[in-house]
Amino acid sequence: MTDHNSAIQVTVWNENRHEKKNPKVAAIYPQGIHGAIAAALSAESGLAVRTATLDEPEHGLTQAVLDGTDVLIWWGHMAHHDVRDEIVERVKKRVHAGMGLIVLHSGHYSKIFKALMGTACSLKWRESTDKERLWVVNPAHPVAAGLPGHFELPFEEMYGEPFAIPAPDELVFISWFTGGEVFRSGAAWQRGCGRVFYFRPGHETYPTYHDANIQRVIANAVRWARPAANLADIHPPRPEACAPLEPLPPDPGAAERPAIGHR
């Protein structure tokens, strides 16, 4: 079993393109969105935080990095298609094996999120001056720990329903927007042995990741998404042949039937 006294290994992944192209974004996030999130998480006890970005070799997500990651945070937007399919597959397998995954904002449309959900993950959106108010609909959920009943972001991109996701295993937040929309903005699923949390806020042109409540949610989600146990090998990567535990009835077609494990 995982030693829960050891640090949680967190990798914050960011495509890191807006920061390079848009001075306004660079001004808000001089260390990148990944840098801002990593800095906030590093102030928490019990977390060991590193970052990775799209333009690093293997997008910074080598097998070794993933094997050493308990929880991966994902921010992407304009460059989803530049993420190589084999890296997406590698991340997916690691989630199946137990790694937690926290998908932020426009990551709803990342290859990895769509692959884990099995749906289009489409939504309505508007980049304007909406205020977003997030309501906690499940105050007992660990991701809502320490939060008030609702909290606000003075300006955010709007995302609206219908959000084409599978029904969440757990719904934690619903957002209200000035312009008249609602959104399931904090939702959780299990995929294989891994926990997945989607958290809506975080458009690159707003200082959302400097907000204390947003930082609280992400830190809570990291702790919630940590694998509960040493999960190596518990979900076999392939169908697994097995022998009976109890006596079987006689085989009426024994002569014709191929032996167990023939395929």
The verdict on 28 binding a copy of itself (CB under 8 A) reads no
- How many amino acids of this chain bind a copy of itself (CB under 8 A)? 96
**Shortest separation between residue 81's beta carbon and a copy of itself, angstroms:** 13
Decide if 72 contacts 41 (C-beta within 8 A). Answer: no
Give the nearer residue to a copy of itself in terms of CB position, either 38 or 117.
117
The distance of Cα 147 from the centroid of its chain, to the nearest Å, equals 20
Nearest-angstrom CA–CA distance, 160 and 46: 35
Among 44, 62, 79, 96, binds a copy of itself (CB under 8 A): 96
Decide if 102 contacts 132 (C-beta within 8 A). Answer: no
Place of tokens 């050891």: 6
* Stretch near a copy of itself under the rule CB under 8 A, chosen from 37-45, 49-57, 138-146, 207-215: 138-146
Residue 166 gets which letter from DSSP? P
Structure tokens at 182: 């609602």
**Shortest separation between residue 146's beta carbon and a copy of itself, angstroms:** 6
Nearest-angstrom CA–CA distance, 109 and 107: 5
In 3D space, the residue among 80, 79, 88 whose CA is nearest the CA of residue 17 turns out to be 79
The verdict on 57 binding a copy of itself (CB under 8 A) reads no
Cis omega before residue 239 (within 30°)? no
The verdict on 164 binding a copy of itself (CB under 8 A) reads yes
In 3D space, the residue among 184, 135, 176 whose CA is nearest the CA of residue 156 turns out to be 176
**Shortest separation between residue 243's beta carbon and a copy of itself, angstroms:** 7
Give the nearer residue to a copy of itself in terms of CB position, either 62 or 176.
176
Give the nearer residue to a copy of itself in terms of CB position, either 64 or 259.
259
Site for a copy of itself in 175-214 (CB under 8 A): 175-182, 184, 189-195, 205
The verdict on 251 binding a copy of itself (CB under 8 A) reads yes
Among 32, 76, 98, 201, binds a copy of itself (CB under 8 A): 98
Nearest-angstrom CA–CA distance, 65 and 149: 37
Structure tokens at 222: 């990291």
Give the nearer residue to a copy of itself in terms of CB position, either 60 or 105.
105
The verdict on 79 binding a copy of itself (CB under 8 A) reads no
Q: What residues have CB less than 8 Å from 259, skipping those under 6 apart?
A: none
Give the nearer residue to a copy of itself in terms of CB position, either 51 or 185.
185
* Stretch near a copy of itself under the rule CB under 8 A, chosen from 33-41, 58-66, 67-75, 123-131: 123-131
